[in-house]
């Protein structure tokens, strides 16, 4: 059973460009979480999605950031018009259907904005 997959592992964007980060959950998992890890800081929750639904986006910046988890395909975290402050590691986690405290993390995508 493959783990959570994220791609790309490293992404470089110039200021003003768009960044798309992909997350494929573990097989059978229907819940996806996105976290951001800023340099020298802990992980911060961004958004929690189930298939075709955003359950909790309380950690998402109000502008430029969006997330989706379509019925088919990976979950996408999209950052429009990136700025230097968006440079961070973005982690995706998945959990099985139902109520579960356990989350399985992917390897992360390191975004660098130049």
Positions in the binding site for other proteins (CB under 8 A)? 3-4, 33, 35, 41-45, 48, 56, 91, 93, 101-108
Comparing CB distances to other proteins, the nearer of 66 and 104 is 104
Burial 74-108 (b: 16+ CB within 10 A, else e): bbbbebeebeeebbbbbbbbbbbeeeeeebeebeb
Comparing CB distances to other proteins, the nearer of 5 and 76 is 5
Query: What Rg, from alpha-carbon coordinates, does the chain have?
Result: 13
Comparing CB distances to other proteins, the nearer of 5 and 17 is 5
CA distance 65 to 86: 10
Q: How far is the CB of 67 from other proteins (least distance, A)?
A: 14
Q: How far is the CB of 51 from other proteins (least distance, A)?
A: 18
Q: How far is the CB of 42 from other proteins (least distance, A)?
A: 4
Structure tokens at 33: 């979480």
Structure tokens at 57: 């986006």
Comparing CB distances to other proteins, the nearer of 8 and 16 is 8
Instruction: Collapse the DSSP code of 1 into the 3-class scheme (helix H, G, I; strand E, B; otherwise coil) and give the result.
Output: coil
Q: How far is the CB of 104 from other proteins (least distance, A)?
A: 8
């Amino acid at each position: 059973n493959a783990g959570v997959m994220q791609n790309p592992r490293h992404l470089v964007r110039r200021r003003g460009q768009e960044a798309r980060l992909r997350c494929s959950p573990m097989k059978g998992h229907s819940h996806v979480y996105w976290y951001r890890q800023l340099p020298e800081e802990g992980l911060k929750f961004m958004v929690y999605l189930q298939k075709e639904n955003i359950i909790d986006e309380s950690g998402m910046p109000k502008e430029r950031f969006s997330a989706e988890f379509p019925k088919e395909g990976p979950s996408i975290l999209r950052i429009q018009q990136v700025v230097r402050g968006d440079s961070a590691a973005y982690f995706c986690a998945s959990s099985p259907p139902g109520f579960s405290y356990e989350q399985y993390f992917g390897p992360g995508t390191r975004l660098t904005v130049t």
